[in-house]
């Protein structure tokens, strides 16, 4: 089922999400809806709180990005256990339609998470998938990409966003 994607400044986007205790069919149903909603919106990543669900779940699909190794995953209770390097990229966000903000991230991350069957997995993401992972990880912590830029850059982005909102 395609769910509504909540837009900034919805308060749930600023609230850290809760750990998933039991991975059951309800959780797998949420994951299915998250993939469907993400594809419908032509996104490459989605965090559960973006569809109003207060749980530490994200989905990623970077297979359309040909220059990086494809990643298509649901991550439950993800943790970043190692990080290195730095990369800048102009990011978009489904909760900020039309806005692009350049953000600096780690270029390589090692991640521990549960899969949709409750099995613990370790992944290494590099380049674009690493960027998407960190963007979604921020969502799960109640942080948006706007919180990653300061001063003038942030003010201009906010102005641009309120203009875009008025056009809608
Ligand atoms: Ni986002």
Q: What is the residue extent of each domain of the chain? A: 11-167
102, 104, 136, 159: which one is catalytic?
136
Residue 136 falls in the annotated catalytic set: yes
Confidence band for 168, pLDDT divided at 50, 70 and 90: confident
CATH of 11-167, one of 3.40.50.300, 3.30.1330.10, 3.30.70.1110, 3.90.45.10: 3.90.45.10
Among 56, 28, 51, 25, smallest CA distance to 38 is for 51
- Burial 119-134, CB ≥16 within 10 A → b, else e: eeeebebbbbbbbbbb
pLDDT (tens digit per residue) in 75-120: 999 999 999 999 999 999 999 999 999 999 999 999 999 999 999 9
- Torsional sign, CA 157, 107, 128, 41: negative
* Structural contact between residues 101 and 157, judged by C-beta atoms closer than 8 angstroms: yes
Distance 120 CA to ligand 1 centre (A): 25
Cα separation, 77 vs 62, whole angstroms: 20
> Would you state the structure tokens that stand for residue 129, as one six-digit string?
């998938």
Residues with CB under 5 A from ligand 1 (ion): 93
Distance 122 CA to ligand 1 centre (A): 23
Distance 48 CA to ligand 1 centre (A): 11
Distance 135 CA to ligand 1 centre (A): 6
> Would you state the structure tokens that stand for residue 22, as one six-digit string?
């039991």
Specify the pLDDT at position 66.
80
pLDDT (tens digit per residue) in 131-147: 999 999 999 999 999 99
* Average pLDDT of span 13-19: 98
Confidence band for 21, pLDDT divided at 50, 70 and 90: very high
Specify the pLDDT at position 167.
87
pLDDT (tens digit per residue) in 28-76: 999 999 999 999 999 999 999 999 999 999 999 999 988 788 899 999 9
Specify the pLDDT at position 94.
98
Confidence band for 158, pLDDT divided at 50, 70 and 90: very high
Specify the pLDDT at position 95.
98
Through-space distance between the first and last CA atoms of the chain, rounded to whole angstroms: 24
* Average pLDDT of span 17-28: 98
Cα separation, 84 vs 44, whole angstroms: 22
């Amino acid at each position: 089922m395609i769910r509504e994607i909540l837009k900034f400044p919805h308060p749930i986007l600023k609230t850290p999400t809760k750990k998933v205790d039991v991975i059951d069919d309800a959780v797998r149903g949420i994951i299915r809806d998250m993939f469907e909603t993400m594809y419908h919106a032509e996104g490459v990543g989605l965090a559960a709180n973006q569809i109003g669900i207060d749980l530490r779940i994200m989905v990623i699909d970077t297979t359309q990005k040909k220059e990086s190794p494809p990643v298509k995953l649901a991550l439950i209770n993800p943790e970043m256990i190692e990080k290195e390097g730095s990369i800048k990229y102009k990011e978009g966000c489904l909760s900020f339609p039309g806005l692009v903000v350049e953000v600096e991230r780690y270029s390589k991350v090692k991640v521990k998470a549960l899969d949709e069957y409750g099995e613990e997995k370790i992944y290494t993401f590099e380049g674009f998938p690493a960027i998407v992972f960190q963007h979604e990880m921020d969502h799960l912590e109640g942080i948006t990409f706007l919180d990653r830029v300061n001063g003038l850059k942030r003010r201009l982005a906010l102005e641009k966003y309120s203009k875009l909102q008025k056009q809608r």
